[in-house]
Structure 1
Amino acid sequence: MLQIDYATTDAEAASQSLASLYDQPDVRGVGPGFRYEQHVRGDGEMTLERYHFGGDIETTADIPDALVSVQVHGGRFATREQGAVPNGSLHGLGPIANGTTDADFSIVTLPVPVLLRTGLRHEGAERGHLVVDGRAPRPELAGHWAEVIDHAHTVTADPTTFQNDLVRAETFRHLTAAAFAAFPVHVDADRVVPDTATAGAVVRRATRYMDDHVAEPIGAAEIATAARVSPRGLQAAFQRDLGITPMAYLRRARLAEAHRELLATDPTSGATVSAVALRWGFTNATRFGAAHRDAYGRSPQETLRDDSGRRGAR
């Protein structure tokens, strides 16, 4: 479980606190009266967050594998690319940059695997691909979505209540189901993520570069250069050919390397899951554990203890 209740007037401390949830966060452009307040409840996959940003603040973060719904309760909240957006709208699947002024807002993080599992159960399918047809909530359900978020905050605000496994699971299940109803997303059960061999030249060049440099600190700019396309063109090619972002592909490749290392490592050597995760770029242990379980069906700790892995990593 993840529970954070934190406040500071220091921008660097605020960035460090955000790093427990997001990749490469940055708080800057801080004006007079800066104040950062954060309240988070999470279960290792989904998180429910409430923030107050006092003063004028610019923030950036990378969200490659999840959609986040932002509900603004007061002040100004705008994205750098889109400006003011409909309340409750979805963001993520890549870097986002925001500007706020005395903003009070909620965020619900909806990982793509969680949404996909919900959609597959709803469709009665075993495999498929999550399709996002729009980022704004359906007008007739926008109010309902806001009420669901408010109710979830009320339920989870008390730490004792949140620690109840049944209450916590039901609260997040309700959020996921409401998100599927409120937003134009669905599962295409006839479409699965294709092998990169069937993708276009841009994606093949990019994935080859990422596979060759998976252990290095590369980003979207370097990948786009290697693929001989603009960053926007790179994003479009990946969404068209693979249905994922370039950074999501890179994270999957690094997760596979971390998995192989866990299988091949002798647990009596003093190696730890957190050290392996950090070596492959995963700074959030909770999210690393959730991603590993989703991909391989068991926790990183169980994988590290697997004797069969040391007879040859998969």
Structure 2
Amino acid sequence: MGAPATPVVRSRVHTTDPDAAVSHLQGFTRFRAGPIERRGFALSLTSALAAGLGVSHLRHGTRMEAQAEPTPALTAVERRDGELTVDAGGGEIDVDLVLAPHWSRYASRWAGYLRMTTLDLAEVGRVGAEVSGLDPEDVRFDAVTPLSAARARYWASLVDHVERDLLAHDELMALPLLRQEARHRLIVGALAVFPNSTLEHHTDRGRDTGEPATIRRAVEFMDAHAGEDITVTDVADAARMGPRGLQAAFRRHRGQTPLDYLRRARMEHAHRELRAADPTGGDTVGDVAARWGFTNAGRFSVAYRRAYGCSPVETLRR
């Protein structure tokens, strides 16, 4: 599939009409606005939206209040200047960085200059599952404030980087891998900055190898079923994620595809069988190779020599 014709959709709005301003802001979440001082009101909103992510800048001098519905995206709001308060049920708090609740209604009040970063919730669930081993539907955020001031500063610098070095350049964002990289960096950042269900699982379950549990499940399945006619879909089902997500996870963490790993596992089984085989009893390289899915003798021999430094015939005759 080729790159989209317009990889980043950019928009700019300026209005002195409070009703028009409310209409534009409803794009972030549905809300009921409180009374607005109409005299001197002005709003400027600039947005850059790509597949699964967006960064918007909101400026206005008149205070606004809202009773909001849960957000349809994961939305992190930074106060760059002015004021920002939120009440998600525990009382109103003054914040510099807040995760607008996508799990409950909330109230907020703001004025000045805000930066809002949005991420697709389904993609957040997929990446969260990849790094933690949870099912995507179990990836949940449960608090609106960051884990620490240091992590809040990290979030600001991360969004600065993605916005300046990737999102600002259509040429770069036209490349699917860089679009994916921008989105992935922000999602992983959000998982590290805001309290959520992946943190404990990532710490406990990822300690042994540093790899996501999804990859470990996939590897265990392929090792156990290497002698069977299994597909990437079968492996993805065992890993509890989609085939495309599994492919991306293997490339990111192992620099190979799941099928690359499966072929290498089958090659190792063939190698062990050749070492244990008895050529005087009728065992042949072709029979062993075929049992492990290698039907082209020439390609098998080349791949075997690359892996073990000798030909399969030499191993059989030792």
CA distance in 2, matches of 1:41, 1:107: 11
3-state SS of paired residue (2:110): strand
Tell whether 2:116 aligns with 1:141.
no
Between Structure 1 and Structure 2, whose CA radius of gyration is higher?
2
Over 3 Å counting, the alpha-carbon distance change for 1:131 and 1:70 in structure 2 is same
Over 3 Å counting, the alpha-carbon distance change for 1:109 and 1:28 in structure 2 is farther
CA distance in 1, matches of 2:138, 2:68: 25
CA distance in 2, matches of 1:76, 1:62: 21
CA distance in 2, matches of 1:58, 1:127: 33
Over 3 Å counting, the alpha-carbon distance change for 1:96 and 1:49 in structure 2 is farther
Over 3 Å counting, the alpha-carbon distance change for 1:98 and 1:133 in structure 2 is closer
Deviations 1:39-89 (A, max 9, x none): 112235332221102222224442344332111010111225643433222
In structure 2, the residue matched to 1:119 is 128
CA distance in 2, matches of 1:37, 1:91: 20
Over 3 Å counting, the alpha-carbon distance change for 1:159 and 1:17 in structure 2 is farther
3-state SS of paired residue (1:134): coil
Q: Which amino acid aligns with 1:179?
A: A
> Which of 177, 180, 201 in structure 1 is aligned with 2:188?
177
In structure 1, the residue matched to 2:25 is 18
Give unmatched runs, 5+ long, in structure 1: 191-296, 298-314
Over 3 Å counting, the alpha-carbon distance change for 1:159 and 1:14 in structure 2 is farther
Give the superposed CA RMSD: 3.3
3-state SS of paired residue (2:144): coil
Tell whether 2:85 aligns with 1:75.
no
3-state SS of paired residue (2:155): helix
> Which of 107, 113, 120 in structure 1 is aligned with 2:116?
107
- Indicate if the aligned counterparts of 1:9 and 1:36 stay in contact, CA closer than 8 A: yes
In structure 1, the residue matched to 2:64 is 57
Deviations 1:204-246 (A, max 9, x none): xxxxxxxxxxxxxxxxxxxxxxxxxxxxxxxxxxxxxxxxxxx
Over 3 Å counting, the alpha-carbon distance change for 1:27 and 1:151 in structure 2 is farther
Tell whether 2:95 aligns with 1:90.
no
Deviations 1:126-184 (A, max 9, x none): 55512334322121322111111222332424556555544433222111111111122
Residue 187 of structure 1 and its aligned partner are, at CA, apart by 3.8
Over 3 Å counting, the alpha-carbon distance change for 1:53 and 1:40 in structure 2 is same
Residue 3 of structure 1 and its aligned partner are, at CA, apart by 2.4
3-state SS of paired residue (1:34): coil
CA distance in 1, matches of 2:20, 2:161: 30
3-state SS of paired residue (1:132): coil
3-state SS of paired residue (1:63): coil
CA distance in 1, matches of 2:98, 2:184: 19
Deviations 1:105-126 (A, max 9, x none): 1112234322211111112455
Q: Which amino acid aligns with 1:150?
A: D
Deviations 1:222-272 (A, max 9, x none): xxxxxxxxxxxxxxxxxxxxxxxxxxxxxxxxxxxxxxxxxxxxxxxxxxx
In structure 2, the residue matched to 1:223 is none
- Indicate if the aligned counterparts of 1:40 and 1:48 stay in contact, CA closer than 8 A: yes
Residue 38 of structure 1 and its aligned partner are, at CA, apart by 0.8
Decide which structure has greater strand share: 1
- Indicate if the aligned counterparts of 1:42 and 1:48 stay in contact, CA closer than 8 A: yes
CA distance in 2, matches of 1:128, 1:162: 29
Give unmatched runs, 5+ long, in structure 2: 1-7, 202-243, 245-318
How many aligned residue pairs are there? 192
TM-score (norm 1): 0.52
TM-score (norm 2): 0.51
Q: Which amino acid aligns with 2:131?
A: H
